[in-house]
Amino acid sequence: MPEPITPPVTISQPGPSVAEREHLAWLFGHPQPVAWVTGSAADRVGRVIARRFAERGYRLVLHARRSAQEGEDLVARWRGEGIDCRLVVGSIEDEGTVRGWIQEILQGYGRLDVLVHSAAVWEPCKLEETTAEVIARQWSSNTLGTFLCAQQAGLAMVRQATGGGIVLVGDWAIRRPYADFAAYFASKGSIPTIMRAMAVELAERNPRVRVNAVYPGPVLLDPNTSEATQARILEQCLLRCHGTAEHVARAAVFLAEHDFMTGVGLPVDGGRSIYAGSIADAIAHPSRLGAADTAPP
């Protein structure tokens, strides 16, 4: 077996080509569209997604909930690099706040072309300790917050002749959940349904509004993750490489800019969602039985 591939966390990219700028101008009606990325102030997946859009010439709206100072520092740093960006701060599950952000974006830029909804709560909790309060907290952020952001951004896009693109960030593991995250998976399991419902609702109002989702596998491993755990994670990946936030960012851009895709959920997990191990599904077949299995009692 070849050596596992471990790609770098970030990949330096040149700016968009002339052809790419022309495509953006055709798709969104402007060579520098506006992208709003929730959960992008902290140094997590959302920030890498936002940076990828910036490299393609987008103007950015970043979002912070608890990391407001970090977001302000990021805006100042990126503006120093020539990136046109601003920051909104608050809770995604508050309807009035979300409506206010949309108005602020439209007043500031006159348009909203892309939403990538990356903000989420990911908290472990043993089933015995999972109370209604725990469930409500994760549902409020991961389900209600997702719905409100997609709804309000989508309705703003409906009013634009060029529509727009929405990408929701889900989780591959809703298909194969692991222990101690039942409340999280219950809330994240709504993402595919919200995505498909919004795709239908918004395109019925403006067929140039597209809604898709990306389902990442494990990315941005905690630096304290042991080598043994990293090895187990690698073994569960069909492509035998660790995922990075950059993989997710590239998928988000692809979906946001594809003019003939909507209602699509794209796993970005190295094959993890289809892979059960090299022999797990065939071990009981007669052709795979060893001498010990076939010996008479």
pLDDT of 26-47, one tens digit each? 999 999 999 999 999 999 999 9
Q: Token match 């974006």: residue?
A: 105
pLDDT for the residue numbered 12 = 45
Mean pLDDT of 271-287: 65
214 forms beta bridges with 169, 266
Strand order through the sheet with 164-169: 85-89, 59-64, 34-38, 114-117, 164-169, 209-216, 265-268
pLDDT for the residue numbered 105 = 98
Report the percent of the chain where pLDDT is more than 90. Answer: 76
Residues in the chain: 297
Residue 8 has pLDDT above 80, yes or no: no
Q: Which domains are present in the chain? A: 18-294 (3.40.50.720)
Contacts of residue 44, defined as CB under 8 A and 6 or more positions apart, other chains included, come to 118, 220, 245
Average pLDDT, the chain: 90
pLDDT for the residue numbered 279 = 54
pLDDT for the residue numbered 283 = 47
pLDDT for the residue numbered 39 = 97
For 137-191, the pLDDT digits (tens) are: 999 999 999 999 999 999 999 999 999 999 999 999 999 898 999 999 999 999 9
Query: Rounded to 5 degrees, what angle do the CA atoms 38, 175, 241 make?
Result: 75
pLDDT for the residue numbered 19 = 87
216 forms beta bridges with 268
Report the percent of the chain where pLDDT is more than 70. Answer: 89
Spatial contact of 36 and 114, defined as CB atoms under 8 Å apart: yes
pLDDT for the residue numbered 14 = 58
pLDDT for the residue numbered 93 = 97
pLDDT for the residue numbered 271 = 93
Residue 292 has pLDDT above 50, yes or no: no
pLDDT for the residue numbered 236 = 86
